[in-house]
Amino acid sequence: MNERAAEAHAALRERGATLAVAESLTGGLLAAELVAVAGASQTFRGSVTAYATDLKASVLGVDEGLLAVHGAVHPVVARQMADGVRRLLRADYALATTGVAGPDPQDGQPVGTVHLAVSGPSGTLTASVRLSGDRTVVRRTAVTAALELLLEHLASAEPSR
């Protein structure tokens, strides 16, 4: 179990808040880490694994023009994925992951390019990281980076109690 996932649930419980997840390159790994924590159902609403680019538009509401011009590996895509899954699953917060796990570049972006977003009541924050390692390492590291982004966002926001 990812220790950051347990910390995220604790921070969400403290706020009486819920979380949804939209994943691409992590392919459900982020949701799996979140549900591995006992009591996850108190805060975790669910997830959408939109691995195919067209699903990012049709399910999560990512702008088709943005996808056509920049592809799925873009910080604004991550932002729109987070906003879309937050609305779709009616959660207080949402996390999104998109990027290139490898072994080949995608949309002109090198392996290890990762864009993350967290959406919440005070807005949406994105982060871009460049990770190294094989496909498994990139995916696992992206999960930890997404959870850390959520924790940073929650720490900067006032609890809603």
- The tens digit of pLDDT for each residue in 53-96 reads 999 999 999 999 999 999 999 999 999 999 999 999 999 999 99
Q: What is the pTM for the complete model shown?
A: 0.96
Is the per-residue pLDDT at 160 higher than 70? no
Is the per-residue pLDDT at 158 higher than 70? no
- What's the confidence (pLDDT) of residue 137? 97
Mean pLDDT over 143-153 rounds to: 97
Give yes or no for a contact between 115 and 93, defined as CB atoms under 8 angstroms apart: no
Cα 61–Cα 11–Cα 114 angle in degrees, nearest 5: 45
For the chain, domains (ranges, CATH) are: 3-156 (3.90.950.20)
Alpha-carbon distance of 40 to 61, in angstroms, equals 26
Region of residue 39 (phi > 0: left; psi between -120 and 50: alpha; otherwise: beta): left
Which SS3 state, helix, strand or coil, does residue 5 take? helix
- What's the confidence (pLDDT) of residue 2? 82
Strands of 123-130's sheet, edge to edge?
A: 44-49, 19-23, 93-99, 113-120, 123-130
| C-alpha distances out from residue 122 to 8, 82, 83, 158, 160, Å | 17, 13, 12, 10, 12
Q: How confident is the model over 98-134, as pLDDT tens digits?
A: 999 999 999 899 999 999 999 999 999 999 999 999 9
Q: How confident is the model at residue 1 (pLDDT cuts 50, 70, 90)?
A: low
Is the per-residue pLDDT at 157 higher than 80? no
Is the per-residue pLDDT at 159 higher than 60? no
